[in-house]
Amino acid sequence: MDKKKCTAILLAAGSGKRMQSGVAKQFMLLKGRPLIWYALDAIERSSVIDDCILVTGEQDIPYVREEIVNRYAFHKVSEIVAGGAERYDSVYNALKSMAVAHCPVATSCPEMDISVKNPYADGLVFIHDCARPFLTEDMLKRCYETVIQSHACVVGMPVKDTIKLADAEGYAASTPDRSSVWQIQTPQVFDTELIMEAYARLMRQKEELAAAGIKITDDAMVVETLLKHPVKLVKGSYENIKITTPEDLCVAEAFLGRG
């Protein structure tokens, strides 16, 4: 079977308020390179990923193009698009750019309508947070092999600690079986048509979901909630951490120092 076209959507539009820094998290230096460089480098070197849509703040697009993409020669970045107010808005903007990118007349293409004439139509989408710098080729390959069979998969790891669910007053309400609890990471990978349909429905129904108190926190939840489609869990790595606070940078530097 021929390899499917694989497109990475790399999210780098967050403000990183919890980093307590005047520099946006994705541009903070980690061992002399901006944080965003690490995921982009893994994508650039990968035999799985064919191209990359990079999502960043609208005001940061010129800087990212010149100081990140061009400076480090990331040739797989095919487009840089502006992010949105929420994570799902940023993913939607990237998916929308895929849907219209290759239409003969872009204005004639309904949003999120992807046809067989579009080279993305029968492909796969790998959605990854640039704040996770330890993306590996093995991880990408495991995702590819899994999504071919299941059409939707996410990287994660079984939790090591006991988890408590809290009630409204902050008391422990229940303790789920640790053997069935996973900590979810990225990348999250889907058939292109599947994730586009899920996000099209999300954008039509997001006010209704908000009124019902349903908060969408990741791409898997979009597919699970809007399409009722099962999502397969794929083992990632305990080193596939997300850089959120200053302490996380120290951990990441230790991992890099270990080689």
DSSP 121-150: TT-EEEEEETT-----HHHHHHHHHHHHHH
Looking at residue 105, its pLDDT comes to: 38
The whole-number average pLDDT for the span 149-160 is 97
For residue range 207-223, list pLDDT tens digits in order.
999 999 999 999 999 99
133: CATH:
3.90.550.10
Amino acid at 221: M
pLDDT given for residue 192 in this prediction: 93
Q: What is the pTM of this model?
A: 0.91
CA atoms of 91 and 58, how far apart (whole Å): 14
pLDDT of 25 reads 87
Count structural domains, the chain: 1
Q: Could you tell me which of 98, 1, 7, 94 has the C-alpha nearest to residue 50?
A: 7
Higher pLDDT, 198 or 14: 198
Burial class (CB in 10 A: 0-12, 13-18, 19+), 90: buried
Q: Give me the domain span that covers residue 234.
A: 6-257
Contact 53, 98 (CB under 8 A): yes
Residue 103 lies in a domain: yes
- Would 1 be classed as within a structural domain? no
Burial class (CB within 10 angstroms; exposed 0-12, middle 13-18, buried 19+) of 171: exposed
Query: Do strands 182-191 and 124-129 pair parallel, antiparallel, or not at all (unpaired)?
Result: antiparallel
β-bridge pairing 51-56 and 77-82: parallel
Contact 157, 95 (CB under 8 A): no
At residue 69, the pLDDT reads 97
Per-residue model confidence as pLDDT tens digits over 63-112: 999 999 999 999 999 999 999 999 999 999 999 999 875 444 333 445 55
